[in-house]
Amino acid sequence: MFEGDENYTRVSEFVIVGFPGLHPSFFHLVAWFFFCVYVTTVVGNFLLVVLFALEHSLQKPMYIIMLSLALSDIGFATVALPNLIARWWWNDGRISFHTCMFQEQMIHYFGTPNYFGTLNSLIMLTMAMDRYLAICHPLRYPMLMTNRTMSGLTVFSWISAQVAPGIVTIDFSRKVSFCGPNRILHVYCDAIALTRLSCSNMVAINNSSYGLAMFVLLVPLSLIIFSYISIIVTVMRMANAQTENLLYLWYSGMSHSYLLHPPLHSLLHALHAQRDNYP
């Protein structure tokens, strides 16, 4: 399975330490806390999924994105929390090598705060595209962003988001040797925690992982920033157009006093002429 020195003793399982230094008297309290977090997350998001399925008025492109985010939350909680709960409830933090590799891939697939979450990046990009079309091209939005189009984008996001985490997982499972420490000082398996336990040269793998992370983060982020700048510019133009209309109504009202106030003739004439020159 590994490329490396065959004299190394292979690690067959890891141990999730969780929070180092946590007193044993707090184990059950912490386990109950994360259990409540897990149940609340799953039940709350599952209710959103059921509501979307039953309420036909919600079956629109924007709510398809909300459904995707709800399923992503359920997936992340299910991958990350059960082992963490078992660690403190039964004082059992053991996790097999292959299960750890699977968890590492799913953690980076659904997203983490300290590393890249490919699925959430693509979902947020899809949301930005939807809002861009709705605000900047409102007349074309119903034709371009249909339920079928949004469903296709969502399926593409869920499938393509596996590519980057899959590459990292293959690198760890085939090119990295774990030959000594097996205690993960974290609450789940991820690339950073596994890198610290490796006895292989991690320079090339770290560079490729960093490149993938930057690509997954920066490309969607750049497009999201572009879309929201376009939205802000469009909204400001709309506000300016509404201000011009209000000024025109005010000028029109002032024109009723034109005959009663001859000195205003030249001013009103100039204002009407200036408005006619607007693009």
**Per-residue pLDDT tens digits for 84-127:** 888 888 888 888 888 888 888 888 888 754 444 788 889 989 99
**What pLDDT score was predicted for residue 266?**
45
Mean pLDDT across 133-143? 88
pTM for the whole structure = 0.76
Nearest CA to 165 out of 190, 199, 128 is that of: 190
Give the pair of three-digit tokens for residue 54: 């039953």
Query: Within the chain, where are the H helices?
Result: 27-54, 61-89, 97-110, 118-136, 141-144, 147-160, 163-175, 191-197, 203-255, 265-276
Tokens 């933090």 belong to which residue?
Answer: 93
Least confident of 33-37, 49-53, 186-190: 186-190
**What pLDDT score was predicted for residue 193?**
80
Mean pLDDT across 245-269? 45
Highest mean pLDDT among 45-49, 88-92, 166-170, 198-202: 45-49
Tokens 């939205």 belong to which residue?
Answer: 231
